[in-house]
Amino acid sequence: MVMSTPLMIQALQGQTTSRPPVWFMRQAGRHLPEYRELRAKAPDFISFCLNPEMAAEATMQPMRRYGFDAAIIFADILLIPGALGQKVWFEGGEGPRLGALPSVEEMLEKAPHAGEALKTVGESLSLVRAQLDPSKTLIGFAGAPWTVATYMLDGEARTIGKGERAAARAYAYSEPQKVAAVLDALIESTAHYLKMQQDAGAMVLKIFESWAEGLPDDLFETLVLRPHQKLVARARELGVTVPIMGFPRGSAVHAERYARECDVDAVALDTACPLEIGKRVQQIKPIQGALDPLLLRVGGEQLDRRVDQLMEAWGNGPWVFNLGHGVMPDVPIAHVEQVLKRIGAQ
């Protein structure tokens, strides 16, 4: 029997599909009661992410409930610093904490072994792939070099300017060589990590650049565009062949340049990206996005109206329906179902 190509893969190949494939960032998480029950069984968040059975179960929960077109492996962008020798932990209500930054030499030595160091994520992927319906797509991911570097450079993160990553950005101005060295270590380690995920069953890979916003032209090129170019090229050198999506969140002004100059297969757009810019990017590459998570929480007619606007603007081109950021913990399950019904996915 010939298996048909999953809907999301069709879209990422540039096809206009009968309806947009849909999945949501953070679809596995605290808005689901079954997730909260599962999470309570793990001693801490890092242990949860690195437990293959638990991570696989968290990945599958929204698939069973909603029937999304894609599952994204349950993990965290801050697993890579641990693989490079930096202590990482999470404090309840406070978020991530990181210990002292290892030496550049230590990080470069460990970088080629990042995939092996995080092989439990691969085990999670293999477990999910074995359970996943063949019509669905399995997504692996990693944090982009600059975003991960902001946490590594800021250490315990108490000095970070909200929404700006101020301390790390100051490093980029005052110690450009040090930042460049950290980015090089992250590019190499992340490329190996992504290759491991593909080998374990990931059908698509996504690069999350959560902190691309607020960067002037020169820093966007130095901290986001060039590292993404290098990361994709290195991953391809290592044998990655599956589609790669890039998500430079908060950088709509640079979106067209990013789409033209970075060899990703699709560009994810954030909540603030104007519909017209999305249309222009869509002429270059497939896009993903960009419903406001706050609307998903509010629901009602406003939610339907925005879904319809997105469908009208982007529905005639290759497009993966998603949020512009992640599902919030207090989003009602009925509102997720409302969106899926509106676009004909449920």
pLDDT number for residue 161: 44
For 291-338, how does the pLDDT look when each residue is reduced to its tens digit (9 = 90+)? 999 999 999 999 999 999 999 999 999 999 999 999 999 999 999 999
Contact assessment for residue 227 and residue 146, using Cβ atoms and an 8 Å cutoff: yes
Q: Could you identify the residue written with the tokens 């599952």?
A: 71
Q: Known catalytic residues?
A: 26, 30, 39, 76, 151
pLDDT number for residue 214: 86
pLDDT number for residue 164: 54
Pairing of strands 266-268, 70-72: unpaired
- Stretch 264-286: mean pLDDT, rounded? 97
Q: Residues near 232 by Cβ (< 8 Å), separated by ≥ 6?
A: 207, 244, 246, 262, 263, 264
Structure-token pair, residue 132 = 């996943």
For 155-206, how does the pLDDT look when each residue is reduced to its tens digit (9 = 90+)? 644 444 444 577 888 889 999 999 999 999 999 999 999 999 999 999 999 9
pLDDT number for residue 92: 74
Extract long-range pairs of 165-168: CB within 8 Å, 24+ residues apart. 165/211, 168/211
pLDDT number for residue 158: 44
Q: Could you identify the residue written with the tokens 């599958």?
A: 60
Single out the residue of 205, 215, 296 nearest to residue 243, CA to CA.
205
- Confidence at 54, pLDDT banded by 50, 70, 90: very high
Enumerate the domain spans of the chain. 7-342
The CATH topology of domain 7-342 is: TIM Barrel (3.20.20)
pLDDT number for residue 80: 98
332 vs 346: CA distance, rounded Å: 16
- Confidence at 346, pLDDT banded by 50, 70, 90: confident
Residues above pLDDT 70, as percent of the chain = 96
pTM for the predicted model, two decimal places: 0.96
Mean pLDDT, rounded, of the chain: 94
pLDDT number for residue 3: 61
